[in-house]
Structure 1
Amino acid sequence: MSVHELKRPLGLEWPAELLGNLSEPLEHLRHWAQITPLQTALRHKRQGQWYAWRWIDALRDVERLADGLRQQGFGEQSRLALSGAFEPNLLLLALAAQSVGGQVVTLADDLEPEVLYQQLWRMSPTHSYVQDRRQVRHWASANRLDFAQLLGPLDPAQHLQRWWQPTGETALWSEEGTHWQGGLAVVLEQWLNSGHGLAFPENLASARRDRSEVAPTGLLLSPERLHHLADDIESRLAPHGTWRRRLCDWAIAHPQSGLRRLLKNRVRRLLGFQRLSYIWQPLKSKAEPTWLAEFKRDIA
C-alpha cells in the first residue's frame, strides 16, 4: 500500500474543506470517559436497530482506530479525506486521524463524478473513507480505508453493552453529512464540549421517524436543514385560505390561547421535539421560519 507525498492544502475551496484543529478533543473525550464512562455518548440506527456507544467505548474505539491508521501508514504527513453522512464511524475516525497528527479534509457527499475527480486531484489525500457504495468506484485512486479492518476484532462482550436507554438522558441530534459546510467541526465541538449523547438516524429518508424515537433535547442542524423542517411543518398544515389554516394562524398569533399550546404540542410530537431544549445556530443566522422561532421562544 503506497502513501503519496503530502501536499499542504493551499487554496482549498468548498465543497472541500480542512477540519481545523479542534480544542483538545481527545482530552474532552478522556474526560467524559473518566467521569461518565457508562453514559451513552453516541447512538446510531443501523438496519432498523439502535446501537449505542458509551463514553468509554468511544474512547477505546478512537485509540484502536489510531493504531489501525498507523499500521496503514497514516502519520503526521498524511491527509485523510472523509465523505458521507455524519455517524459514529466517521466521527471516531476523524478524531483518530487528528490524534495521530494527520490532517482531516471533508468533501461534500453529493458531487457529480467529474467534480469529485477534480476535488480529489486538488486535495491529494493519502487515505480516504467514503460510505456511499455508489461512490466507491470514483474513490479508487484515493487509498480507501476499511473501517472494520482499522478497528480490529472486538471483544464480544462489548457488543452486549451497546444498549439504548433514552429515558432521562440528554441527546443531541444530527441528520447531516459532509455536504454541510463547517458542519463536522460544529458537531464534534458541541458533542465533546457538552458531554451530551449524540444520535444519528439510519438515513435521511428515515430521519423524522428515527428522530421521534429518540426525542432529542438538542438539534445540531445546518440552517438549510432547519428550513427543511419548517417546510415539513408547512406541508402538514391545512392549505392557505382554508378556515382550518386561518385557525392555525390565529392560534400562533395569540400567545395565551389554549389552542395555540395544543397545536404546538402536536407539532412537537410530530417532529420528535417534545423534549427539545436547545437549537444550535450560527451567530449570524437568516430570518427564522415561524415554527422554529416559536420553539426557540419556548426554550428561552
Structure 2
Amino acid sequence: MAKPLTLPSAATLPAVLLEQAARQGRRAALRHKRLGVWRERNWAELADEVGRLAAALAGLGLGPGQRLLALTPPRPQTALLSLAAHWLGAEVAALDPALPAEALSGLIAAAQPAVTLIDGPAQRAVTLAALGEAAPVIYLDARREAQAGGPAGRAYAELLAGQAAPPALAATPEQTAFRFFRWGEHGGLETQALSHAFLLQEGGERVRAHGLSADERALAARAFATAEQARHLFAPWLLAGFSLNFPENLATRDQDRCELGPTLVAGTRETYGRLADDVARRLPPPGHWQRRLVDWALSGQGGAPGRALGYWLVRRPLLDVLGLIHTRHPLLLGPPLPAAQAEWFARLGVRLHALPDVARWQEASAPATAARPFVTSAGA
C-alpha cells in the first residue's frame, strides 16, 4: 500500500498528479475499456502524458486566464487534457454534450473558450454554431474528425506526437480550476468557479470521511460536467491515488460496471434510478410466490439465519447483476433519490452517501452571442 500523500506547500491539481507519479509511479491510475479490452496506464505514464499535452496546448496559445471547454462523454482524454490546461494556469469549463442543442449552444458561447475539446460531428456542429470557425478544436478521435466536416481540428494523438519539453507549472492554488455554466430557473446565465485550493480541501475531506485509499476502483460513467464530480470524484482520485476507470461508451457502462466491480461509484439520481428500474424489471410480479420470497429475503426477518439466507439467495445475486457487489462507497451526487428508490437500495444493503451541490452559483452576464433558450414570461 502506498504511503500517505504529503501535499506540496503550493498544492494544485497538476502538482498532486506529479506527487503521485513520484511516490507510486507504477501503480494503476487510469483504465479505459476500448474494443472490449481494459487498457491501463500508471501514474508515471499519466504524468508524462499530461506534461506533453500541456506543451501542445501552450503551442495552441492556451495559458493563464484562458479557458479549455470540454464537450465530451466520459473519456480519459478529457481528464488528462483538463490537467494539462490546469498545468498552464488555465481553467476548464465542462458541459454535458447531452444537453439540448439550443441550450448547449448558448452555454458554449457564454464560456468563450480559447480551445474546445469535442468528440464527434454532433459536438462539432453545435460548437460551430456557437463560436464560428475561429476557435481551435481538438478531437478525441481522428477518425471522428473526418466525419465531422468543416474546418480541420487537431486530433488528441497528434498533440502527443510532439517532443517539446513540459513547461513549468503555472497554476496557483487560488486560480480557478473548473468553471461551470448553466441556465437558471428564469433563463439567466449562472456560473460556478472552483479553485485548486477549494477542490483539494473538499477532496481531502472526502478521502478522510470515507477512508478512501489507493486500493479503490472508481467508475467514471458520466461526463465531468458538474461541480459534484470535480469535488467528490476528480479531486479524491488525485489525492488518494486510486484507479479511475472509464467505460467503453455510455451504452455499455452498466455491463462495464459489472466487469469492473468498482469499490467506489459516484452516480446521480438518474444513475441510481436507472439501476433501480433494471432491478424492478428482473423481479417477479407483485403477488407471485417468488416475489413474496424476495420481499421476505430483503426484509431482514428470520434473525441471523434468515439474513444470511436472504443475502446468498437474493441480495448478492442482485448486487452482482448491478455491478455493486464490491461497492463500499456508493456516492449520490446532486439531488436525492425518490423515497421509494432510496428504500429499495437500503433493502439491498446499499447505503447511499448523499453529496448535494452546496457550492455557490452566481449570476453572470452572458455575451451578446449567447442565446437564452429557457427564459420564462417572469424572467423575460
Contact 1:230 1:289 (8 Å CA) reproduced = no
Asked whether the equivalents of residues 65 and 151 of structure 1 are also in contact (C-alpha less than 8 Å), the reply is yes
Aligned to 1:150: 159
Pick from 273, 291, 298: which aligns with 2:324?
Answer: 273
- CA-CA distance at 1:24 after TM superposition: 2.3
The aligned counterpart of 1:183 is 229
Are 2:342 and 1:289 equivalent residues in the alignment? yes
Query: Could you tell me which amino acid in structure 2 is paired with residue 77 of structure 1?
Result: G
C-alpha distance after superposition, 1:9-68 (max 9, x if no partner) = xxxxxxxxxxxxxx6212321222122111110011112221111011111111111101
2: distance between equivalents of 1:176 and 1:187?
11
What residue identity is the alignment partner of 2:14? Answer: L
- Secondary structure of residue in 1 paired with 2:85: helix
Amino acid in structure 2 at the alignment position of 1:260: G
Are the aligned partners of 1:83 and 1:178 in contact in 2 as well (CA < 8 Å)?
no
Higher strand share: 2
Aligned to 2:279: 233
Of 36, 44, 47 in structure 2, the residue corresponding to residue 56 of structure 1 is 44
Structure 2, unpaired ranges of 5+: 1-10, 139-154, 164-213, 354-380
Aligned-partner Cα distance in 2 for 1:113–1:128? 16
Q: CA deviation at 1:242?
A: 1.8
Q: How many residues get paired? A: 265
- The verdict on how the C-alpha distance between 1:230 and 1:104 changes in structure 2, with shifts beyond 3 A counting, is same
The percentage of counterpart residues that share the same residue type is 29
State the match for 2:6 in structure 1. Answer: none
Corresponding position of 2:71: 83
Task: Answer whether contact 2:332 2:352 (CA < 8 A) is retained.
Answer: no
Question: Which secondary structure state, in structure 2, belongs to the residue aligned with residue 275 of structure 1?
Answer: coil
CA RMSD of aligned residues (A): 2.6
For structure 1, the 5+ residue unaligned runs are 1-22, 155-167
Alpha-carbon distance change, 296 to 113 in structure 1, aligned in 2, over 3 angstroms: closer
- Distance, in Å, in 2 between the alignment partners of 1:83 and 1:279 is 26
Establish whether residue 72 from structure 1 lines up as the match of residue 56 from structure 2. Answer: no
**In 2: Cα distance, 1:298 partner to 1:281 partner:** 6
- CA contact under 8 A between 1:109 and 1:178: conserved in structure 2? no
Q: In terms of mean alpha carbon deviation, does 184-193 or 284-293 score higher? A: 284-293
Q: Whose Rg is larger?
A: 2
- Partner Cα distance (2:101, 2:136) in 1: 17
Report the 3-state secondary structure (helix = DSSP H, G, I; strand = E; otherwise coil) of the residue aligned with 1:202: coil
Decide which moves more: 211-220 or 169-178: 169-178
